[in-house]
Structure 1
Amino acid sequence: MKDMGHTPLPHAPADHPKVRMGKVGILLANLGTPDGYGYWPMRRYLNEFLSDRRVIDYSPFLWQPLLQGVILTSRPFRSGANYKSIWNHEAGESPLATITKAQTAGIAARMKERFGDRVMVDYAMRYGKPATIDRVRAMQEAGCDRIVFFPLYPQYAGATTATANDQFFRGLMKLKWQPASRTVPAYFEDSRYIDALAASVERAWSAAEVEPDILVCSYHGVPRRYLLEGDPYHCQCQKTTRLLRERLGWSEDRIVTTFQSRFGPEEWLKPYTVEEVARLAQAGKKRIAVIAPAFSADCIETLEEINEEIRESFEHAGGESFAYIPCLNDDEAHLDALSDVLTDNLAGWI
């Protein structure tokens, strides 16, 4: 495969516009992040996020007046305070942005080692910046006539993977000459991901002064209705937990699946993490560890919600020792696993 650079197309007249072609682009995608924790950056971010029909599927005629009136008047202050408590002040960005950049650099280095300059690696955010369409356009201009789009969600959900894919396709719709494209499917049962997850648990167990009584696998929640409408997320979360348990060689009573980040009045997937950790403490499980297998990078839901709100619920109910096991982030084993998944999905293209 030859990178033609800015040269005329074969057999084209001399005055034909010069283009780049011949490279494969890998575009990583994560949820997104506000530009800052002040009121207006938070309001812009929350407005984009909560206006997504994949996330909140209520009728816009009912939802938008509530969102634009009540929610976006008060919620930016509360969410901003939460972001401020975890903000990477040195870099001037959220931890999710910092980690995603490190993941991109790590995967780019691995792709360069495997394929040289034939592959370009970049990242985009579903909400906020860098915008997906901007990165798609930049890849095409850099000579990528094929793009592999990789939403960094181990388990598929309409509110995460599907909306990221939607945005990628919207980006393609704006191009006169679309590159060929592939999307990477969920990797919730991939043995390389499970191995990396298990290794992080084993490190936490080895570092603990006293071994935790139980491991809580806390996944981001979705309305229970989504499961009944055909979303596979709940089942994939359950399978990830089972495969992790089997990889660790544990009995069923040493690990539990829960769901966090409930929003709104309707019933979400249960058990709710914030309630389950309190129940465990009251049932005599005084030492627990919590891991978040649905998140590829630490973010507001893990650094603030798990490590602060959920920890407080456990300790208030009598819990004595709470350990949060960080997401896989830019761990070498994690980047190796993601790079292997990507290499699988490059088959036939390079």
Structure 2
Amino acid sequence: MSDRTGRLAHAPADHPAVKPAKVGVLLANLGTPDNYDYWSMRRYLSEFLSDKRVIDIPDWKWQPLLQLIILTKRPFTSGANYKLIWNHDKGESPLMTITKDQTAAIAARLAAEYGDTVMVDFCMRYGNPSTASKVRAMVAAGCEKILFFPLYPHYAGATSATANDAFFAALAKEKRQPAARTVPEYFEHPLYIEALAQSVERAYAALPQRPDLLIASYHGMPKRYLMEGDPYHCQCQKTSRLLRERLGWDKGEIVTTFQSVFGREEWLRPYTVEHVAELARQGKKRIAVMAPAFSADCIETLEEINGEIRESFLHAGGEEFTYIPCLNDEAAHIDALTAVIGDNLQGWVQAGR
């Protein structure tokens, strides 16, 4: 045992101080550039697009293309898109702002449940704050156990798995490794489905006319990944079905699509940007679009869905396009995330302690 100074009983005077034991809960999101200038964007995109989980082309073929061609141009266009959505008041991207708000809300819930035995923080897979820096901070604060929570409802190699890779790599650098758990996908958790349903009901209640269709747009991936065993596609389809059943809607009222196609390889279909245009040409004048795979609004939702995809629909003859925001720090979403965390903390902590 140690006293309040961290000194162990019966230990010599020069023994290093020992922090009171804690359990860490480390939330992880995809990442964000530090700013939207060229060099900030280039650093961020280079780290992201060099990840083998994201682009699995051999380095000898991919890196020259990435470093000499893609990263000479793309930082300008991506930076311009980030500038459109940037939180200029706080000097950060919306993803950073929202992740901070989610972390604060979850920390408050867990403090009420477990007291000061649980430490809550967040990290980013790409950019700052890095996973390694936050693991180091938790170990230094006395966390002998860490629950690592990638904030992706669905499992995918390019999201959940690469976040876990970074976590395991960070643990490998620790002299005294904490016990570790990773939170699995939670796409069918009843409270997550409930939070999605409530967001749809709120959005629809605020509209003068009901949309003809609800588009559930999920981040895409190469079709090859599905054929190689990645469960993401099937989990997305199940989320749409569970949401429809919770809403009490008929089949066909929710359409599942995939966005953010990159490169020449075939990706999961239908592509959102093309499909909404086809719907408009078929006479669907009013649609709503949501992004269930994202736990927080980001460049792919605020700029791609509410910009490029909206424009595609309206240009093809659509009349009313409604974007339903991500769950962000809505109370029902925090309920769901806190419940998932509680499930995964079992045996490590007890309520009221």
Shift of 1:285: 1.0
Distance 1:136 1:125 in 2: 12
Aligned residues: 349
> For residues 258-310 of structure 1, what are the alpha-carbon distances to aligned partners after superposition, in whole Å with 9 as ceiling and x for unaligned?
00000001000000000110111111111000000000000000000000000
Amino acid across the alignment from 1:127: Y
Corresponding residue number in structure 2 for 1:269: 268
Structure 1 residues 308, 250: CA separation in 2 closer, same or farther (over 3 Å shift)? same
| Matching residue of 2:39 | 40
1:8 positional shift = 3.4
Deviation of 1:17 after TM superposition, in Å, equals 1.6
**TM-score (norm: length of structure 2):** 0.97
Provide the C-alpha distance between the structure 2 equivalents of 1:3 and 1:219, rounded to a whole number of angstroms.
Answer: 50
Structure 2 spans left out of the alignment, 5+ residues: none
Give, in whole Å, the separation in 1 of the partners of 2:286 and 2:337.
Answer: 32
Matches within 5 A, 1:68-83: 68-83=67-82
Contact 1:4–1:20 (CA under 8 A) maintained in structure 2: no
1:56-88: per-residue Cα shift (whole Å, max 9, x none)? 000000000000000000000000000000000
Residue 329 of structure 1: aligned partner: 328
Q: Which residue of 1 aligns with 2:310?
A: 311
The secondary structure found in structure 1 opposite 2:252 is helix
Paired residues for 1:161-172 under 5 Å: 161-172=160-171
Question: Per the alignment, in what secondary structure is the counterpart of residue 196 of structure 2?
Answer: helix
- Once superposed, what is the RMSD of the aligned Cα atoms? 1.2
Q: Could you say what secondary structure the match of 1:125 adopts? A: strand
Partner of 2:25: 26
Question: Does residue 287 of the first structure (1) align with residue 292 of the second (2)?
Answer: no
Match of 1:221 in 2: 220
Contact kept? 1:4, 1:22, Cα under 8 Å: no
Q: Percent identity?
A: 70
Match of 1:89 in 2: 88
When the two structures are superposed, what TM-score results if normalisation uses the length of structure 1?
A: 0.98
Mapped partners of 2:127, 2:165: distance in 1:
15
Alignment of 1:58-207 (within 5 A): 58-207=57-206
Structure 1 runs not aligned, ≥5 long: none
1:344 aligned partner, one-letter code: D
2:36 and 2:83 in contact (8 A); partners too: yes
Name the amino acid aligned to 2:145.
Answer: R
Amino acid at match of 1:188: F
Give me the whole-angstrom Cα distance separating, in 2, the residues matched to 1:282 and 1:58: 37
